[in-house]
Each structure stands twice: as C-alpha cells, then as structure tokens.
C-alpha cells in the first residue's frame, strides 16, 4: 500500500538559550526524519514575548519561523516526533505561555481538520499571530491559511510587529542542515546553542492541544 503524502506547515519559536541555533538544529533534525521530505524553512523573525497577560517587552524576546514539508507520517506520529525534538532541546512544559527553549507547532496538516486531546489543526490562533504569518509570508507570498484566507491579508489586518532576525538567509535558502562547503556557516548574533512542538504559535505557550501560543 502506497503511503499518502501530505503537505504540512510547522511553526517554531524559542526565547531561551541559543534561540536561532536551537530552531535551525530542530529543523535539521525534522528534515532528516524518515517520512518527512521537501523540508523548506522560512527566514527567522524576532518578536516581543506574548504572555497570558499580553505582550511583555521585559521578557526575553522570541525568535520564530515556519517551515513547509511533505510527510507520510500520521498527524499524531508527526506530533510525537515534534515533541521528542522539543524535549531533546530542553523543553519543559510548565507555565502556560511561559518561556521555552523550543516550541514546535503543527499549523496545517494538508486539508484535514483535527480536534482531540492532543491536537487542534488547523492551529486555532495562527490567523492572529504575526510571528507565524510574517515568516510564512516571507517563505510563500501566495500562502493561504485554511479557513481564514490569504496570509498577506491576514497580516495586513492584524499588523506586523516582528523584525528580521540578524544574519538570516533569504527565504527558501539553506532551510536546514549544514551550509555548502563553499560558503561559511551563517552566524547568529547573540545565539549560543541549539533549538524550537504542539499546536500553538511558537512565540510562546500552549493554549490548546498540539500548540503553544
């Protein structure tokens, strides 16, 4: 039996440790996972932390990004992989929408609607998260969020408070893994060490199964 190949959208976030390095390391691990192909990551963006009380300019800032991929994994098998990678990068699930070393959210799984104790897809708050929409738009100018419309219009409606994260390559370039031997590794200002699963928006915490902010 031929496994069905499904397009997915993942979102990443981190505001602890080497934020950008952590996210890129997690993306490289996902890109190398059996059952995941055509992994392409967006540029990373930086934004103020979003807490239960609202934006907190005094909290460590988040670095966020998204990635598209194709997978033959089931939604929950993919979630298992995402959460394993989160744990390997020091993710501890404590305070809701609290600081985290790595957050990976499943935003879209093909055209499927999933709602159970572990997953809520499409991600219920993606349409109001500029830290998801802005990097997604940088990756795909024609992106459409299932159930909500064109990403460009959604971002224009809510406003974009994100800023490009320093020293990031253009959209679609060097999505994951090591840079070519002919080019020196990209450096990340202020980043120290690796990585960024659930179903919230990566800049922050979990609000529904399979998400973080």
CA distances 64 to 51, 116, 161, 196, 206, Å, are 15, 26, 12, 8, 15
List the alpha helices (DSSP H) in the chain: 19-31, 75-88, 130-139, 151-158
- Other Cβ atoms less than 10 A from the Cβ of 113: the count is 10
Is 70 noted as a catalytic residue in this protein? Answer: no
Kindly name the residue from 105, 130, 140, 213 that is annotated as catalytic: 105
Q: Using CA atoms, how far apart are residues 9 and 208, in angstroms rounded to an integer? A: 17
Q: Using CA atoms, how far apart are residues 170 and 147, in angstroms rounded to an integer? A: 28
Nearest partner of 210 among 125, 96, 105, judged by Cα: 105
Kindly name the residue from 100, 125, 129, 213 that is annotated as catalytic: 100
114 HSE (CA, 13 A, CB side): 25
Length of the chain: 213
- Other Cβ atoms less than 10 A from the Cβ of 112: the count is 13
Kindly name the residue from 19, 103, 130, 213 that is annotated as catalytic: 103
For 97, list phi and psi in degrees, rounded to 5: 60, 30
Is 105 noted as a catalytic residue in this protein? Answer: yes
Kindly name the residue from 91, 125, 129, 213 that is annotated as catalytic: 91
Residues classed as catalytic: 91, 100, 103, 105
């Amino acid at each position: 039996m031929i496994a069905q190949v499904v397009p997915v959208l993942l979102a990443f976030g981190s505001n602890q440790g080497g934020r950008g390095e952590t996210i890129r390391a997690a993306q490289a691990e996902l890109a190398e996972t059996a059952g995941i192909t055509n992994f392409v990551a967006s540029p990373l963006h930086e934004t103020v932390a979003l807490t239960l009380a609202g934006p907190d300019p005094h909290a460590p800032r988040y670095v966020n990004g998204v990635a598209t991929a194709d997978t033959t994994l089931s939604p929950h098998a993919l979630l298992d992989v995402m959460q394993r990678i989160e744990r390997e990068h020091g993710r501890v699930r404590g305070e809701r929408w609290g600081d985290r070393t790595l957050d990976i959210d499943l935003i879209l799984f093909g055209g499927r609607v999933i709602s159970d104790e572990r997953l809520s897809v499409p991600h219920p708050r993606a349409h109001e998260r500029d830290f998801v929409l802005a990097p997604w738009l940088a990756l795909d100018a024609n992106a459409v969020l299932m159930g909500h419309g064109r990403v460009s219009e959604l971002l224009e409606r809510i406003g974009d408070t994100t800023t490009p994260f320093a020293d990031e390559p253009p959209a679609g370039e060097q999505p994951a893994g090591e840079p070519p031997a002919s080019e020196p590794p990209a450096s990340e200002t202020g980043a120290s060490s690796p990585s960024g699963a659930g179903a919230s928006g990566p800049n922050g915490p979990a609000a529904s199964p399979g998400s973080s902010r």
